Each structure stands twice: as C-alpha cells, then as structure tokens.
Amino acid sequence: MNKLSLDALARKHMETAAAASAGRSSETFYGGHEQTLRQTLIALTKGNALSEHPNPGEATVLVLRGRVRLKAGGDTWEGRTNDLLVMPRGEASLEALEDSAVVLTVAKH
C-alpha cells in the first residue's frame, strides 16, 4: 500500500505553476499511459488553461483548490473546491478561474 498527500502534492505544483511561464504544472501520481487507470494532479494559475483535447475514456475532475471551468461540446460547467466534475465523451478544455489544483482521473477503454 502507498500513501500520498494530495494536499502536499497540490502545494508543490501550485508553487511550480506560479513560477512557470505557462502557468501550469502537473504530475501523474498513479497509473500511466500503459495502464487503464491514470490519475494526474494539475495546477493552473488564474487565466491559464488546458486547451481542448480528446477524452480517451471515462474521466472526472476533482477540484482540490480554486475554481475551474470545464468546456465540452457546447456545454460549460464550473467547479469549486471539493466539487467533482464528470467529463462527457469527446473533446474538453479546462480553464482556471482562480489559482487551482485538480485531480484528473481517466479510465481508458
């Protein structure tokens, strides 16, 4: 069994994102491209985004800190700290409305 502090990981990546020219930082902390389940912590500073990209399977976004906007197709959802957003199939983008840290969980088919 492994234990991981998402709070510590979020703090580390929020600091890295604040210093980065792109305003973001991420780390896959469980799974990976070769496994079915992948969990990635993503930190974004206010106003920065992950551009539209395909969703390779079932996916959720858990907001650890801040406030984000998820866009998919013609729909938009906002998430705040402790909200869980279920991503629809297809292409999606994520924008930080405040300095934010999220956990993206993807289960590929």
68 belongs to a structural domain: yes
Contact 109, 55 (CB under 8 A): no
Indicate which CATH number applies to the domain containing 101: 2.60.120.10
- Provide the H-helix boundaries in 1-109: 6-19
Cα-Cα-Cα-Cα torsion 100, 38, 83, 12, nearest 10 degrees, comes to -30
14 and 43 in contact (C-beta within 8 Å)? yes
Assigned domain for 58 exists? yes
Residue 43 lies in a domain: yes
Q: How many domains does the chain have?
A: 1
pLDDT < 70 regions, the chain? 56
For residue 35, the model assigns a pLDDT of 86
For residue 68, the tally of other CB atoms under 10 A from its CB is 25
**pLDDT the model gives residue 34:** 82
Mapped onto helix, strand or coil, the DSSP state of residue 11 is: helix
Residue type at 50? L
Q: Report yes or no on whether pTM surpasses 0.75.
A: yes
Q: Give a yes or no: residue 10 inside a domain.
A: no
- 47 found inside a domain: yes
| DSSP string computed for 30-42 | EE-TTSSEEEEEE
The answer as to whether 3 is a domain residue is no
Q: Report pLDDT for 73.
A: 81
Asked if the structure places residue 12 within a domain, the reply is no
Query: Does a structural domain hold residue 6?
Result: no
The CA-based diameter of the chain, rounded to the nearest angstrom, is 41
Domain containing 46: what range? Answer: 27-108
